[in-house]
Amino acid sequence: MKKQTGIWIDSTKAIIVTLEGGKEAITEIQSDLENRVYHDKEGDKGSFFGGQHIDSQKSFDERKKHQINTYLKDVISNVTGADELYIFGPAETKTKLEQKINSEKSTIASKPKSVETSDSMTENQIVAKVKQFYSQKQ
């Protein structure tokens, strides 16, 4: 029996639906990504400490890059046993996940069957979309 997995992903969370032997399992992974928040004492040009200028945007971007990397690795570690992958979601996180899967030299790299754009969905809608995707494939 094939282990078919669907991943709905955005920058706040990933919902993983696994279909195997007529049963479904749902896993939710929360991301720790921080979004840009304006602080009262923070200017938009960074900060000055004596003669040294610190650009807060650059350090924020670097920190966010590491957070995304950790988040995607966590999602990938939850789907390593899948035979087929269906990735969907809004924005660009789904394509970053696909790139990460393809860049990892592992057995999972050949698994993605489709990457699609979709709106925000409820958990039930996500499960229904994954079931519909795999029922069309057979």
Answer whether 90's CB lies under 8 Å from 8's CB. Answer: no
Beta strand spans in 31-128 (E):
47-49, 52-54, 84-89, 112-117
Give the number of other Cβ atoms within 10 Å of residue 112's Cβ: 17
Two structure tokens written together for 121: 């969905």
- Nearest by Cα to 78 from 28, 124, 134, 131: 28
So what's the pLDDT on residue 40?
47
Domain 1-34+82-127: homologous superfamily in CATH: eRF1 domain 2 (3.30.420.60)
Q: Of 6, 2, 21, 7, which is closest to residue 93 (Cα–Cα)?
A: 7
Record the pTM: 0.82
Q: For 78-89, b where at least 16 C-beta lie within 10 A, e where not — what string?
A: bbeebebbbbbb
pLDDT tens per residue across span 61-111: 888 899 999 999 999 999 988 888 999 999 899 999 988 988 876 667 667
pLDDT exceeds cutoff 90 at 118: yes
Give me the amino acid identity at 95: T
* Residue-wise pLDDT tens digits, 9-46: 999 999 999 999 889 999 999 998 876 655 445 555 55
Q: Which carries the bigger pLDDT value, residue 137 or residue 133?
A: 133
Instruction: Encode pLDDT of 38-64 as tens digits.
Output: 544 555 555 555 556 566 777 778 888
Q: Map out the domains of the chain as residue ranges.
A: 1-34+82-127
Q: How far apart are CA 73 and CA 12, in angstroms?
A: 15
- Residue 40 · residue 123 · CB < 8 Å: no
